[in-house]
Every structure is written in C-alpha cells, then in structure tokens.
Amino acid sequence: MQLGSKSIGLVLSGGGIRGMAHIGVIKAMQEFGLEAKVVSGSSIGALVGALYAADKPVVDMLKFFKETPLFKYNYFAVAKPGLINSESYIASFKKYFPEDSFEALNRELHVVATNLQKGEEIFIDKGELIKPLLASAALPPVFSPVEYMGELYADGGIMNNFPLEPVLSRVEYVIGSNVSVVSKLEKKHLNNSFQLTGRVTGLMIYAINRQKINNCNLVLESKELEHIGILDRRGIEKAYAIGYEAAVKKFEAVFSE
C-alpha cells in the first residue's frame, strides 16, 4: 500500500519509560519516508510528540530522557502533593524548547492533561508549551500536579491515555503507537500489592482506550513492553529498540505491498 499525498497523523499513548518505543516508531517512520502533519500525545507520549514536533533528531530525543532524571534529591517536593516537584524540570525542558511555545513547533501538536479540580480532560495546542507538557506527564503520586492557568493539572493518561480525538478529523491516515499494552502474565508476576495494582490499572487503561486504538489506520503495539517498568530508566534503550524493530516489521508488511 502507498500513502501517496495523504496527510498523516500520529497518536502517542502514555506509558512511562515504555514510551521510548515511540521514538523507535518515529525513527522507523523517517526511514520509510513517513512524516506526520499532526501529533497528539498523552503523558510520555506528549513529551515525545513535542520533541518530534520540534524536529529534534532521534539521538537528541533519547538524550532528553537520559539527561532528565526521574529521581533527583533536590527535586523532591516540599509542601506539595507528590514525591517530586514537577515544576523543577522547567529549566531542563528549556534547553530543548527555548521558545516555550506551541507556535514555535514545526508540526501541529495536541497535548492532553487532566484538570484535577474539575475532574475533566483538557486538550492544549496553543500558548506556552513547557507547563502543559509537565502537566501531561505528572503521574500521581510520584510527581506533583502542575499549576496551569490558575488550576491544578496532572497526567493526561488519567482520563485519556490514547488521545485520538484531535487528530482524527485533521488527517487522512492515522498511525497510533500504544505502549500501554496487556499481555498474559504468569502467577509469579502477581505476587504483591504493587504488581496487582499495576496490573489492574493497566487492564482498566487498556479496556477504556481499546476502541480508539482500533480506529487508527495502523497500530503499533509490542507485548514485550509490559516487562519494562514504567519508571525504570534502565529500560530506555530496550524500549526504543522494541518500538523500532516492531515498526520496521509492520511498515515493511504494510507499505511494501
């Protein structure tokens, strides 16, 4: 199948470190000459989407996540809910987004975050960039909520982990990269409360977003990602490689017909 001149949209799910697979997908897209006109992301997908929308090279995308520490002593929150103060990352983000503006990006980007006070999701695509990115990726209870436009926001994945909505009406072909995957687990992987909670949360997210994922023209998912911890920085390169290899295989099957 050939896309010809069809406009492409890219949807990037949340999923912590597993989201490095999104970068692998983008690398494969570049090798196959596929370029997204519109990008939508939630949580880690929002961060990767912003780097892609800013036309950062893949090597710099990976560098961003390797250099931005998830746990750093002087980032711990004081008098705020959450273990880590999300807004302490602003300086790190400004190195990659010096203009701090959606309008400065080279592609249309939509970021979803959760308004904790109103209990609703919000899509952001204009104005300042860094705070919405931090809000979209502020996973409770690890990261503190981010104050934006006078209200508190947290992880977009709480209410919308696969933000297809802004892309669907704007493009002719949608590629979805979902890293919040569900595979069969052995009993030994459900031995404690932490594992059980993670599994239940993963199943809920998977079920809620399944129909939207299926509405994409092409979906990229890798079951192997479930064995990478969502906050395990040691999994960066592995998740990237899994995403890249799966995307190349899928693109060869679909676009070489």
pLDDT of residue 91: 87
The pLDDT value given to residue 76: 46
**Which of 43, 86, 180, 222 is an active site residue?**
43
Structure confidence at residue 224 (pLDDT): 87
Active-site annotation holds for 43: yes
Average pLDDT, integer, range 99-124: 97
Only one residue has tokens 């995957």, namely 181
Is 155 considered catalytic here?
yes
The per-residue pLDDT for range 142-193, each reduced to its tens digit, is: 788 999 999 999 999 999 999 999 999 999 999 999 998 766 666 766 677 6
Compute the mean pLDDT over every residue in the chain, rounded to the nearest whole number: 87
Distance CA 53, CA 107 (A): 5
Beta strands in the chain (DSSP E): 8-12, 38-42, 108-115, 120-124, 146-148, 151-154, 173-177, 218-220
Output the pLDDT for position 71. Answer: 46
Q: What is the pLDDT of residues 233-250, one digit of tens each?
A: 788 999 999 999 999 999
> What are the phi and psi torsion angles at 74 (to 5°)?
-80, 5
What pLDDT does residue 43 have? 94
d(CA 183, CA 226): 7
Contact of 163 with 41, CB cutoff 8 Å: yes
Model pLDDT for residues 72-97, shown as the tens digit of each residue: 444 444 445 555 666 778 888 999 99
Catalytic residue among 13, 42, 86, 155: 155
Give the chain's domains with CATH numbers: 8-256 (3.40.1090.10)
β-strands 173-177, 151-154: how paired?
unpaired
Q: What are phi and psi of 14, to 5 degrees?
A: -80, 170
State residue 143's pLDDT score: 84
Q: Is the pTM of the predicted complex or chain greater than 0.85?
A: yes
> Cβ neighbours of residue 154 under 8 Å, at least 6 residues apart?
113, 114, 116, 135, 138, 139, 140, 143, 145, 146
**38: which strand partners?**
9, 108
Can you give the pLDDT at residue 34? Answer: 95
Question: What is the structure's pLDDT at 170?
Answer: 94
